[in-house]
Chains A and B, each alone.
Chain A
Amino acid sequence: MSGYYRRPYGASSGAPPPPHRYSGSNPYRGHPSQNNKASNHPESRYQSANNRHTSRYANNGNPVNNSTYAQGYHSERRYASGSSASHHDVPTYHSRSDRGVYQRHHSSQRSDSNSSTGSKSRYSNADAAMISGRPKPVTKYSDEIFTSKYHYVDLVTRSLLHKKEMKSWNHANEFPKNGFVIIQEQYAGQLRSKLKERLPNELAIDPRNKSLPCKGTQYRKLRLKVNSLPRISYDKYSVGPPPPCEIVVYPAPNSVNLNIMNLQDISIKNYFKKYGEISHFESFDDPNNALPLHLYLIKYTSLSSNINVASKSAYDAFKSHDNGKNCFILGSSFNISLNKNNEVEKIKQKIVDENLSKVNKLKQQEKITNNRVEKDKDEKISLNNEGVDEQFLKFNNPQDRKIPQDLLRLINNRPCLFVSKVFTSLHGFRVEDFRYKLRNYSYARFVDHISGIYIVFNDIEEAKRCIHNESSKLTLISRSRRIPIVIKFVFIYSPMSRKISRFGDATRIDRKSSNANGNSTFAKQTPIIYQNKADLIEAAAKYIIKDLEKALHTDIRKRIVGPTIFDTLNSSNFPELLEKKKVRDVEKQKAEEERRATERSKKADEITNRDLDIFKLYGGYLKKSKPKRKLKKYSDNDDDIDEREDSYDLLRESKRKKKKLGLEPMAHLLNEDSTSKEQSPATDSIVSPSRGSEEEEESDVMSSEEEEEEEDFMGDEHEDKKIKMESELTTPEFVNEEANEKLQVETYERIAEASLINEKYRPSCSILPEPIYKEPSEPDFYGIADLQEYVKDDEDMLILQKLCNMTHDTKTIGPSIKTEAGTKPESDFKPATHSNGLLEYRIWKLREKQTNVRQTKEWQFKLNEGVSFDAGLLLNNNLSFKAEGFKKVPDNLKVSYLPHRRRIHQPLNTVHHHDEATDERSSTPSNNNTKVEESLQSESSENVSVVQEISSSRDNRAINRRFQQDIEAQKAAIGSESELLSLNQLNKRKKPVTFARSAIHNWGLYALEPIAAKEMIIEYVGERIRQPVAEMREKRYLKNGIGSSYLFRVDENNVIDATKKGGIARFINHCCDPSCTAKIIKVGGKRRIVIYALRDIAKNEELTYDYKFEREQDDEERLPCLCGAPNCKGFLN
């Protein structure tokens, strides 16, 4: 037990000792026996500063006084005094037990504590010294100065100072010690207050006198409205059941819900979604008949599974409909209630019961009506009652409606349904509404009269059907009350004497009948009753005779007179006449023929002068020997007349054929304009294969020659031959000598001779001798294939060999050819006829290669749309593309392989069409000349298809207007505005256009079909923004790098921006020579930009128009124009 404690008292093991001045103080400084007031512990001065800590050290082994005032400690024996224990807790000891937590020294300030006794030690004094060995505390500072604030306590003696003067409150023991109450007790007839001791365990009683009367019943203030209670959140501390999160939706019991069957569950669900998140949606069906009850249970939930949110949603849903009374979904009214105590089941049961009762009622009703119908049926006469069924008597208006006089004729006793004017005007119903609703019935007409609306039917069955289905069931939404109103129709029908005669008798009869009856409502037919049988027969006989007469007349006409006439008119009845006619016909034909012959002979005169010397020369040898053969046949005939006739026929036929084929005399051809002349050779060549056998030869010759000169000549020749042919014929029989004198008559022997020679080698009639085979325009053979082609026959071969100085071995092959002097027969030469496999192979290989090259070239050409690749693109080293290295292809060369780079003024094929005709046609611009035929053909086919697409824009506009009107009518019929039905009218006038790569710049807009001038093409659609916004956007786009400008000015303050949002009109490029222009038109009050065509635009042509940018002053701001037009300004702005 050394006096030195390394750690302060009560310090926790972990906490370091706070810095402190007297850290190494001697614990034994204070002497226990010192009783000096002034001997304050040196550490005590720090006490107040830091009570906790210093108090620790203040003691240094000794218990400490209450810190608030214990500046001095007495280390005297505390227990010496017998005064009431002023026990001070020993904080240090206490605090030792609490690890590091120092509690304020609680001074259990008992009044009697005497500080002089010092702090109490746990242990008895004597013991303390013995056990702890600590000296007792001593107050060091007992001076007046230090003790001045202690007014009541004497520190030294540790006792209250004024104890003696103080007295206890209960000094005289007047009051009970444990407390008291004052009660009123009766003492000698008087009420007196008395003190009564009260013990704590007694219960309190109400001292108020019960007999005192109340001052009248206190009524509460009249509350006119319920105080709104705050909604208290339901949380884990709430008492009671959780608030309801479910609502029950059921059809309102007293309303007529006609459309409820059409209502889908999903609509209900969507309707209630707006109140909150639905976790559960259930619909209930009637267990008896499996029909939907339209009873729905909707449970709300919240995302955070907070029941308050869910219940709020349910409550909102409930409350917003007037506490569930006024819910109107899609035309049907519902009630809503919160599902407390499983109310849904109750409601369900109720509805089911209702339905059951309804069913029962209906069944009963049906029974009744069935009984009634049967009864009535028995009473009726079957014949007489036309068209009135029991069931639909009830539709009759008991007021017995009449058709107004002026409508009588119109309705003409047809069945009609009626709706009164009062009713329709009240609700604002119109004929159109009824028309729309009854569109499924085949009504004859609607009559809108001042008394109401009449719906007339031609067929009574139809009228019945309509009224069965619709009356009392059809609803229209009233325009005045905006709720659906049930409509009842009144059936009006007066079937009597419904005569619709052609001659207008109907009205007379009708009026008569209606006047007779007083009203033309439904009336019974009065039967014609015959008195006796005789009358009946009499009447019947009358009918029969009448009909007989009619029948006879018709019979005579149809069966007798008609066919007789027809047969008589047969021309075979009049043989003389026929003959006469024939004769006349023959004469006519003769006359015709003579006329033609004279014409021809006149022409023949012209021609014979020029060219017929040749015929003389060759003796009339023609390549066309076939016709000659034919002629021979004919001329062998003996019958003159027949021959003549046949020749006529021949002539006629040939003439007709000629006419048909369009082969007119050259003179005529020359008269026409150039286009047709161009056509004619082509058409000749096309058409010629289809000619008859007569002209086959001629056609061959024709097609093989292309030179105009020759063709002309051939044309003439052909003509001449024909004439000659004919004129030949005529020569023996007809004397037409002016034409024939110069011609030499061909003898038949020579013809026979000519036929022996091979066709190819027959003499031809031309000015200069011409080779048999076609001579190439330029010797463009560069391959073995061409060479081989050149050698057409043996003659050629021989010549070729001669040229190459080759000789033959006389033994091996035929005749030898003398070589020129000085040359030896080339023994190396091995003609191909010898078997030399290698040579053969080589030759074959060469051919293949050549044909391959040619073919690929051709294909490439074709694929590239007829533009061959530029020579500049060829590879230099001719080896491999990769070996070339990187090379920038200049723009002008790019044209050859990029189709969209070609000039815009030639229609391009960047727009892909799916039909082949157009593909063929739009092959290329450069091939246009040579492909006239194709284009003609395909144009015609394309024209057909295009014609079908093009309808006049006027028609289109009319169609669109009608469409617009249709939509408006539908809108009116539906009765509610809907944005879905609004049209962009300008959209209708849009022409078919599409975007594709452009030659001018990137993308452009192309016309898919030809567009006429001044037609509207498309609207420039985009975001409509104001001027300042546009300016800002322009800058921003430039900053962002969007170089193209898609801002289009509408007017001074408005701009259309199609940069990010817009129509395809934004793709139209600029051109200095535009094909389109922009106009501003007003549609529906709004200004819009519309693109019109300035001139006719061809199919696949790019649309262009003048951007009309302002001229920039700064030259660097100017953008170059890429349009390529001849009058291009060079810059966009």
Chain B
Amino acid sequence: MTGQDTDEAYLLAEKFKKQGYFDKLKQDILTESIDGNGDETLEKKIKETVTDIVKNMVNEEEELIFKNRGTTSALIESKILMDNYKMLSENKEPLNVEKTIKEALQNANLSDDIKATLEKLLDDTTKMHQYDSQ
């Protein structure tokens, strides 16, 4: 995207990602505890829900397990992902993935953290440039 090629902010964001902060953030969100417990992370919850769903499916239709596993899993996956994880929320324990994520992202702390890191990054780069020009 040519527009973004010259956008300094974008470039800065790229640098941020390159440093690995981005992935770290992502990881944090996923493994953050919901409900305050040390046990329940978003990730886990999702997994559990999904497993339940699949088991129910199999119980209903036993032939599933004997079919081609790859294709059946792809089909089930797309079914689950439909409509923003609708199925997950319809489960016994409603799990609204979308909401959770949004909340996490809008967390003020998060943005503050990011900004701080960015600033630091900028400072570092300018320092480097100064070195170069000298």
Contacts and interface: CB of A to CB of B under 8 A. Distances in A.
Does B bind A?
yes
A885 B69 CA distance: 89
B66 A552 contact: no
A586 interface: no
19 contacts: A383-B6, A499-B1, A527-B6, A528-B7, A530-B8, A536-B8, A536-B12, A537-B119, A540-B10, A541-B111, A543-B10, A543-B13, A544-B17, A545-B114, A547-B22, A548-B105, A561-B80, A566-B70, A568-B54
A545 B110 contact: yes
A404 interface: no
A915 interface: no
Contacts of B105: 545, 548-549
Interface stretch (A296-304, A450-458, A574-582, A752-760): A574-582
A557 interface: yes
A562 interface: yes
Interface string B87-122: 000000000010001100100001100110011001
B77 interface: yes
A541 B115 contact: yes
A145 interface: no
A528 B114 contact: no
A544 B114 contact: yes
A497 interface: yes
B29 to A, nearest CB: 6
Contacts of A538: 115
B114 A564 contact: no
B98 to A, nearest CB: 9
A555 interface: yes
Contacts of A577: 58, 62, 65
Contacts of A386: 2
Given A556-B97, A561-B81, A564-B50, A570 B9 contact: no
B50 A574 contact: no
Contacts of B73: 562, 565-566, 569
B66 A581 contact: yes
Contacts of B58: 568-569, 574, 577
Contacts of A536: 8-9, 12, 122
B72 A552 contact: no
B2 A525 contact: yes
Contacts of A561: 46, 50, 77, 80-81
Given A499-B1, A580-B62, 7 more contacts: A386-B2, A539-B7, A544-B13, A562-B73, A569-B58, A573-B65, A581-B66
Contacts of B81: 557, 561
A675 interface: no
A560 interface: yes
A66 B17 CA distance: 147
Nearest to B113: A541
Contact of B30 (A498, A555, A565): A555
A413 to B, nearest CB: 9
A536 B30 CA distance: 28
Contacts of A557: 77, 81
Nearest to B68: A569
Contacts of B124: none
A569 B69 contact: yes
Interface string B50-74: 1100110010001011100110110
A496 B119 CA distance: 30
A322 to B, nearest CB: 59
A496 B2 contact: yes
B9 A569 contact: no
A525 B10 CA distance: 16
A551 interface: yes
B25 interface: yes
B110 to A, nearest CB: 7
A571 B2 CA distance: 50
B101 A565 contact: no
A220 interface: no
B101 A564 contact: no
B77 A562 contact: yes
A574 B73 CA distance: 16
Given A530-B9, A537-B122, A555 B26 contact: yes
A536 B123 CA distance: 12
A528 B8 contact: yes
A551 B97 contact: no
B114 A556 contact: no
What 5 pairs between A and B have smallest CB-CB spacing? Answer: A539-B9, A568-B54, A543-B13, A571-B65, A566-B73
Nearest to B112: A541
A527 B10 CA distance: 12
Interface in A495-546: 495-499, 525, 527-528, 530, 533, 536-545
Contact of B3 (A497, A544, A545, A565): A497
A565 to B, nearest CB: 4
A660 B22 CA distance: 62
Contacts of A384: 6
